[in-house]
Amino acid sequence: MRIGVAPHRLWPDGEGELDDVLQTAVRAEELGLDHVFASGHAVVGDLGVTPDPLVLLAAVAGATRRIGLVTSVLVLPLYNPLILAHQTATLDRLSGGRFTLGVGTGWDAEEFAAVGVPFAGRGHRMDEQLAVVRQLWRGEGSPRLGVLPRTEGGPPVWIGGQSDAALRRALRFGDAWHGSGVDAESLTGVRARLAALGDEVGRDPGQLALTAGLFLVPPGFAPAVKVPGRSLGGAGASAESVRDELGRLADAGLVSASLWLPVETEALPDALAWVGEELVPHLSGQP
């Protein structure tokens, strides 16, 4: 299983807590993690401050050499598809093909209003946007992007959402389905739903990887915010219980886990070191 981390804590309160994201990303690479990821909200809300994900990952790309770069997730309906295709193609090319575009429909109607984009119909628009972005990445039709991605056909696309419409979208346009806070039982249920929808969409669901964003408060650390769902390993987690749960998720088909660490910013380097020491060496040999 591939393990990634966010380069800042879950839901930082202020901009100052983002100042060390590049150092955190470099340390994640040194510890052997697979990727760093960034979510995207254009305005401050109840979940704190959020840097622009593409700008953040571009900066990380320049500060690192190997580690993957993932949006988890970018709210696609807020973007012009041609501009986004150009931005992501540029990031993929300049990073040496390390970029993955994780996308979702979004949930914050106030954010859509602030950007001036209709909230209603965002799922249908996202389907159209994904088709356009994929076509532009391939260099098909007109206009042609200012630069094409380094990855042939474009970077991998992870598509989030639990609804049937989201699962159909992942089958039609995605390289992976990207869940949030799943356990092995719910992931097995998603696999069954994908299998049922595969014939309808005309794609073998076995071709779709399963990935997820997960929450982890490592043993010995205190959460800085209320964890939105179950933390890996459960209450009173130990290294063994966390590894055991990740192993069950791997058995259920999860190939990549993106870990949010909801600890105080000052504790983030130590929490990251725990992930590198207690999880990466034990899980890197799993599929």
**What confidence tens digit (pLDDT) does each residue in 39-74 have?**
988 898 888 899 999 999 999 999 999 999 999 999
The DSSP secondary structure of 183-238, one letter per residue, reads: -HHHHHHHHHHHHHHHHHHTS-GGGSEEEEEEE---TT--BSS--SSPPTT-TT--
Mean pLDDT taken over the chain: 96
- Using the predicted structure, report yes or no on whether residue 284 has a pLDDT greater than 80: no
Closest among 272, 279, 282, 253 to 27, alpha carbons compared: 272
Q: 286 pLDDT exceeds 60?
A: no
Q: For the whole model, what pTM was predicted?
A: 0.97
Q: Is 272 in contact with 7 (CB distance < 8 Å)?
A: no
pLDDT band at residue 287 using 50, 70 and 90 as cut-offs: very low
**With contact defined as beta carbons under 8 Å apart, do 286 and 247 qualify?**
yes
DSSP result, 99-165: EEEEEE----HHHHHHHT--STTHHHHHHHHHHHHHHHHTT-SSSPPSS--SSTT-S-EEEE-SSHH
**Rounded distance, CA 86 to CA 148, Å?**
8
- Say what the pLDDT of residue 246 is: 98
Residue 34 has phi, psi (to 5 degrees) of: -80, -40
Residues of the chain with pLDDT > 70, as a percent, come to 99
Q: What is the pLDDT of residues 103-143, one digit of tens each?
A: 999 999 999 999 999 999 999 999 999 999 999 999 998 99
Query: What is the arithmetic mean of pLDDT over 159-175?
Result: 97
pLDDT of residue 98: 98
Question: Is the confidence at residue 204, as pLDDT, over 50?
Answer: yes
pLDDT score recorded for residue 285: 59
The DSSP string of 39-66 is: ---SS-BTTB----HHHHHHHHHHH-SS
Say what the pLDDT of residue 235 is. 87
Placement of tokens 């089958």 in the chain: 171
> With the CA atoms of 129, 100, 11 and 275 taken in that order, what torsion angle do they form, in degrees rounded to the nearest 10?
160
In the predicted model, is pLDDT for residue 240 greater than 60?
yes
